[in-house]
Chains A and B, each alone.
Chain A
Amino acid sequence: MTTNHTGPTIQVHGLRKSYGRQVVLDGIDFEIAQGTVFSMLGPNGAGKTTTVQILSTLISPDDGHVFVEGHDLSREPDAVRAAIGVTGQFSATDRFLTGEENLVLMADLRHMGKREGRRRAAELLDRFDLAEAAGKPVSTYSGGMQRRLDLAMTLVGDPRIIFLDEPTAGLDPRSRRTMWQIVRDLVASGVTIFLTTQYLEEADHLADRIAVLDHGKLVAQGTAAELKRLVPGGHISLQFTDAAVLEKAALLLKPTSRDDEALTLQLPGGGDVRSLKSMLDRLAEAGIEVDGLTVHTPDLDDVFLALTGHPDTTQPQEAIA
């Protein structure tokens, strides 16, 4: 996993792409250092997949420069292809072949030699917990198994750079954890990873740097901690049984907002136990009964609200007045 190239593994400057009148990428810039995880965070339709498709040579940009390990993407696409591996959102396996045949096919296309290819296929089947299903056609695999095989196929030629386009979308929590561990192991072995996701939590767990993409523009870049500083803290929402009680509580607590119809109050605060307890004590002393309490921690919606001034409308919204 060595390369003669020094400097950022991926450099992107002024990348633009439109389909007809619809602007998908409106001039984005970023750099990715070797051996790190770069996560592109954004809702559906923000341009994440388009970025991956351009960087992996599937489509060409309208404008801008991309260098992968120092190779100009538009001039030396084959040099770029030799360095990268891609696992897209949609299954890129051959459904008519078995899991093992899919891996051997990749080994053949990487010109690995018969014995080496078989050895590598067996090793990956073991590592991704697919050894038992190795001889079955992929059309019989579950979603999680297909995703694992997909990633295993990407790893056959030991690519130095891996693109993962929403690798955990649609996976159950356990498969998601497995996928996260695989990503961590890859980074530990020196691989550079470009990961797109809709989940702040996922970027938080895995990424060294996060870029937030919205309507084709990067609205923020930084570490997870840096981004969270941009987001206002969470809030606490209190539910009451009638308007009179709501009125009394509002006078006592000075909420940031109130909703007379839903009978709720919103207060700032991340929900640490001490401040919660003192607030509930004050309500109890005043004889105010609280019907329900929810603690809301910052998530992708908050990041979007803070960075773009509009909520991420593709996500189901929590009913907050």
Chain B
Amino acid sequence: MNALAYSFSDSATMLRRQLRHMVRYPSLTFIVVGMPVVFLLLFVFVFGGTLGAGLGGVARASGTGDSRAAYLEYVTPGILIMTLAAVVQGTAISVAMDMTGGVVARFRTMSISRASVLTGHVLGSMVQAAISIAVLLAVAVLLGFRPSAGPMEWLGVIGLLAVASIALIWLAVALGMVTNSVEAASNLPMPLILLPFIGSGFVPTDSMPGPLKLFAEYQPFTPIIETLRGLLTGTAFGNDGLIAVAWCVAVAAVSYTWAMRLYERHSVH
């Protein structure tokens, strides 16, 4: 086997290790999958009636006069991004737990692909993200969400969610390593959960006051959410798709480099 094949095989081994952890200790997965569902129910049933009425025809369902249905349609893409943020919070915790334990020190003394420990975490989190997103979309459909997306649009949704999760997960891997405690690692990704609020995740950015609106329009989650919303429900999103992908690629590249550097430098405790 050559170096590349070894690197694939080592990453696959580490992914198997992560999946075993998930199966054996499902509580973290449960929280990660459950939290966005709770948020969706909360926003649709508690706030949805009022917020939907204020959307002013942004959503297709607005025409029907059912403001709760309109808000479900509007908020689902925002909650999808929140789903990713919840997944990566789990990533940061499990990376930090791994780095403070002895087994990673053992991996580092072995002749294995250097990136494989981290790619194992990344691939494991991708699986978790896929489950989480599927569950959330299923719940949304049960509540009456009817995406207008055709096969090409669905491909776009899956592709964008994939690059967004790669970017956010690598960022979380780096955040999980930059601190030496599990508690700190669980707090660091917190802004990622809050950012969709200060964007177009829950209300249109036009409704915000000046400086906040400026931030909300230019922060990376907004173009991602706008693109998902456009692909799923047929709203116009202009060049947000390109901006979204550019953000994801940039965050992924910086985070990957950062994470690898931290891994190389990380000394044992």
Contact = CB atoms under 8 A, between A and B. Distances in A.
Nearest to A91: B102
Interface stretch (B106-114, B124-132, B201-209): B106-114
Given A59-B268, A92-B103, A105-B17, A81 B109 contact: yes
Given A81-B109, A86-B106, A93-B103, A111 B268 contact: no
Interface in A39-73: 53, 56-59
A137 B20 CA distance: 12
Contacts of B24: 96-97, 137
A26 interface: no
A166 to B, nearest CB: 13
A59 B111 contact: no
A153 B107 CA distance: 11
Contact of B267 (A59, A78, A81): A59
B9 interface: yes
Contact of B10 (A81, A85, A92, A109): A109
Contacts of B146: none
A58 B110 contact: no
Contacts of B9: 108, 111
Contacts of A86: 106, 109
Given A88-B105, A92-B102, A92-B105, A109 B110 contact: yes
Contact of B108 (A57, A93, A96, A97): A57
Contacts of B261: none
A58 B268 contact: yes
Contacts of A88: 102, 105-106, 268
Nearest to B17: A105
B4 interface: no
Contacts of B101: 94-95
Given A53-B268, A78-B111, A108 B106 contact: no
Contact of B109 (A56, A95, A96, A111): A56
A304 B24 CA distance: 49
Interface in B93-142: 101-103, 105-112
Most buried by A among B20, B106, B111: B106
Contacts of B108: 57-58
Most buried by A among B13, B16, B103, B267: B103
Given A58-B267, A59-B267, A96-B24, A82 B111 contact: yes
B152 interface: no
Interface string B1-44: 10000100110010011001100110000000000000000000
A90 B102 contact: yes
Nearest to A107: B13
Given A81-B111, A96-B25, A111 B1 contact: yes
Contacts of B21: 96-97
Nearest to A96: B21
Nearest to B18: A96
A53 B112 CA distance: 17
A204 interface: no
A91 to B, nearest CB: 5
A84 interface: yes
A241 B258 CA distance: 71
Contacts of B1: 111
A208 interface: no
Q: 8 closest Cβ contacts across the A-B interface?
A: A92-B102, A92-B106, A81-B111, A82-B111, A108-B13, A56-B109, A86-B109, A90-B102
Interface of A: 53, 56-59, 78-79, 81-82, 84-86, 88, 90-97, 101, 105, 108-111, 137, 153
24 contacts: A57-B109, A58-B105, A58-B108, A58-B109, A58-B268, A59-B267, A79-B111, A81-B110, A81-B111, A84-B109, A86-B109, A90-B269, A93-B103, A94-B101, A95-B101, A96-B21, A96-B24, A96-B25, A97-B17, A97-B24, A108-B9, A108-B13, A109-B110, A111-B6
